[in-house]
Every structure is written in structure tokens, then in C-alpha cells.
Amino acid sequence: MNMDEKINFLFNEIRLLKQKNANSFDEKIKVLNNKIDKKEDDLKNLINEKDDIIKDLKEKLLKQEKEHKIQLQKINNKIQEIISENNKISENIKKELNNLILKNKDLQNNFQIIKNNIQQLKNKENKENISNTQIFYSNAQKIFQSEEFNSLSQEEFMKKYSSNSKLSNLKEIHTEAMVGCYLSFSNLDSRGNKFEGWSKNQKRGNYFYDPPIGWIGIGLKVLQKFDNGDDTWIGNNNSTGEWAVAYHGVGYCQRSENVKGLIRMILTGGFKPGPRQMHQDCEDLNHKGKKVGRGVAFCPSIRDAEDYSGIVNFNGIEYKTVIMVRIKPSAIRACNCSYSSTWIVNGTFDEVRPYRVLFKRC
């Protein structure tokens, strides 16, 4: 095939290809146009459906909004009812409170009247007790506190009261104490003798003390001896100027003659700090942040003082012994310790006054 034939052949082929492709493009365009038409119909349907949905939603929302408004109105009405009811209750409560306040004032007034009446009765009773103290004592106690008890010798007393074993025993202890501790009649005052009629727990000098029930007390001569004869310090009404009651156990862990000697030394020379000083580092409850310091220990409880007492022997019978004192309240250093109630007095011991020696049979 020559060149011209070849060229003609190629042109024919190209023409055929163009014709074939043209048919194919037309078909594709037709298909596409059909699809577009279909999509347009779908879109129109969707748009119409969307409008219906929106319309339906608007109707539902309007309906819900209306219902919500109705519910809110009901709730507001209920709240108003509750507020109104609460205001009524508050008014009632206020009325009741006012009534209670008025009743309380009446009760307070009545209580004060009763309190005043009780105080008057107490004052009356205290005056009667002070002026008629001995009417509560037995006959033996009266004799024990009488001037006769000191004035008679032991032989004379035993002869007169030999039938009364209690009085005979008291006179024997009294005499043995005088001899053993070298006390003379000038040191003693029978008005301070006591073995019964001890008070229940009460205050002296605004401090509570534990009365020495079960102990025999030999009175020391102290009345009109101090403060230019003013005996306010030894009063029994917890009034202004009274001193507190306390005890000092004599002769810890010692016996007989040593203890008698210590009693004599204290009663003639006063109290002096001992070597043990087991409480000196305790906190002072009366002076926060300070220690009680070095001094002499006393106890407002007879039971605590008994733990520190020594033993004396009178005619074969053993007795514990404690000295009963009054302490000026301002001189008390109260130990902050759990095992006992202990006071320390340091400095001058003119603020401690012994006024009774106590004995208790072991």
C-alpha cells in the first residue's frame, strides 16, 4: 500500500472513531439528563416534605408552648398558695413565740421568787445552825467540846465518865496526844474538839473541801489569836474574808515517835518545805502558764491527805494523823495533776493556820 492509500485509510479510521464516539457521548448525555430530571423531581418532593415537616413541628411547638404556659401558671398558683399558707403559719409561730416569751418571763419571775425564798430559808437555817450548833450533836460530843473536858485531869475525867466508853477513849487519846506531842493546855481549845457533826461537802474561802468524817479532832487555841482578834478567817459561811479548809498528812511512811515529833515541830515552828517536792513542776490552775513551784503540800480532800499521813501509837493503839488548816485563798497554788487534788503554798507560811489535829484509828 502506497503512502496515499495509507493516509486515506487513516482518515477513514479517524472518521469512524469520531462517529462512534459521538454516538456514545450522546447516550451518556441523555442518561445524565434523565438522572438530572429524576433528581430534580426528588428534590422537589423533598422540599415539599420539608415544608410539611416544618409546619408540623411549628404546630407541635405551639401546642407544647401553650401547655407549658398552663403548667407554669399552675406552678405559680401553687407557689402563691404555699407562700400565703407559710405567711399564716409564720404569724401563728410568732404568736406562739410571743406567748412563750411571756410565759418564760412569768416562769423567770416565779423562779426568782422561789430562789429568793430558798435563799432566805438557807440564811435562816445557817443562822439557826450557827447559834444552835450543839443541838445536832450527841451528849458525848457536847462534853467533848466543853471546857470541862480540858479542865479535868485524865484520872478525874475517867472517874466521872467511866461508864461512857466513848468519852473515856476520847480523853485517853487527848491526853496521849498532849504527852506524846508535848502539847500543853495552853495550846488546846476544847471548843474545836470534834468527832461527829461534820458538815457535808461545802465551801470555805470559796473552795470546796471534804469533811473529815470518821476522824477525831483535837482543837487548837486559835480564836482571837490573829488579825487583832478578828475571827472572820475561820468562819463557817463561805463569806468574804474566810480562808479555805485543807489538810496536811504528817509523817509520810513514818511511825510513832518521828510523827509525834513532826506534829510538835509544825505546831510550834510552822510549816517548812520538805525535800521531796514532787509537785513543784505541776501547772498552777490558779495562774495559767506558771508552775506551782517549791512549797508545802496540802489537800482539800481528807482521803488524799490520809495517803500522806504517818502513824502514831497511843497506849498500844495505832492512829493515822493529819493536821487540819485554813489557807488564805490568794496563797493557794492548785496543782494540775490527775492522781490527787493538791495545793501548794510557797513563800510566807503566815498564810497557813493549823486549827485542829486529826486522829483516825488504823
Same domain, residue pair 20 and 44: yes
Listed in sequence order, the residues at least 6 apart from 351 whose beta carbon sits closer than 8 Å to its beta carbon are 327, 328, 330, 331, 345
| Among 334, 263, 265, residue whose Cα is nearest residue 299 | 334
| Residue ranges for the chain with pLDDT beneath 50 | 128-135
Same domain, 20 and 161: no
Residues 153 and 253 in one domain: yes
Residues recorded for the chain: 362
Domain limits for position 81: 1-131
Burial class of 59 by CB neighbour count within 10 A (0 to 12, 13 to 18, 19+): exposed
User: Residue 327 has which C-alpha cell?
Assistant: 489557807
Same domain for 126 and 154, yes or no, is: no
Verify that 119 and 161 share a domain, yes or no: no
Say yes or no: 194 and 306 in one domain: yes
Which of 131, 146, 170 delimits the end of a domain?
Answer: 131
What's the pTM value of the predicted model, to 2 decimals?
0.61
> How many C-beta neighbours within 10 Å does residue 252 have?
14
Q: Do 227 and 295 have their domain in common?
A: yes
> Does residue 199 share a domain with residue 255?
yes
The pLDDT score that the predictor gives to residue 135 is 42
Which residues lie closer than 8 Å to 53 by C-beta, 6 or more apart? none
Predicted confidence (pLDDT) per residue in 172-209, tens digit: 888 888 877 767 777 899 999 999 888 776 889 999 99
Residues 192 and 318 in one domain: yes
What pLDDT, on a 0 to 100 scale, did the predictor assign at position 232?
A: 94
Within this chain, do residues 230 and 270 fall inside the same structural domain, yes or no? yes
The predicted structure's pLDDT at residue 298: 92
Report which of 215, 237, 219, 155 is spatially closest to residue 353, judged by C-alpha positions.
219
Burial class for 48, CB neighbours closer than 10 Å (0-12, 13-18, 19+)? exposed
State whether 92 and 212 are in the same domain. Answer: no
What domain count does the chain have? 2
- Output the nine-digit C-alpha cell for 37: 430530571
pLDDT of residue 214: 92
Query: For residue 104, what is its C-alpha cell?
Result: 418564760
23 and 168 belong to one structural domain: no
| Orientation of helix 154-161 relative to helix 165-180, angle to 10° | 170
* Per-residue pLDDT, 31: 65
**149, 157 Cβ separation under 8 angstroms:** yes
pLDDT in tens, 116-160: 777 777 666 555 444 433 346 788 899 999 999 888 888 899 889
| Residue after which a domain boundary falls, among 108, 131, 154 | 131
Q: Mapped to the 3 state alphabet, what secondary structure does the chain carry? A: CCHHHHHHHHHHHHHHHHHHHHHHHHHHHHHHHHHHHHHHHHHHHHHHHHHHHHHHHHHHHHHHHHHHHHHHHHHHHHHHHHHHHHHHHHHHHHHHHHHHHHHHHHHHHHHHHHHHHHHHHHHHHHHHHHHCHHHHCCHHHHHHCCHHHHHCCHHHHHHHHCCCHHHHHHHHHHHHHHHHCCCCHHHECHHHCECCCCCCCEEECCEEECCCCCCEEEEECCCCCCHHHCCHHHCCCCCCCCCEEEEEECCCCCEHHHHHHHHHHHHHHCCCCCCCCCCCCCEECCCCCCECCCCEEEECCHHHHHHCCCEEEECCEEEEEEEEEEECHHHCEEECCCCCCCEEECCCHHHEEEEEEEEEEC
Question: What pLDDT does residue 251 have?
Answer: 81
Per-residue pLDDT, 129: 47
The HSE-up count of residue 341 (CA atoms within 13 Å, CB side) is 13
Q: Which pLDDT belongs to residue 252?
A: 76
Q: Report the chain's terminal Cα–Cα distance, integer Å.
A: 162
Of the three residues 80, 104, 131, the one that is the final residue of a domain is 131
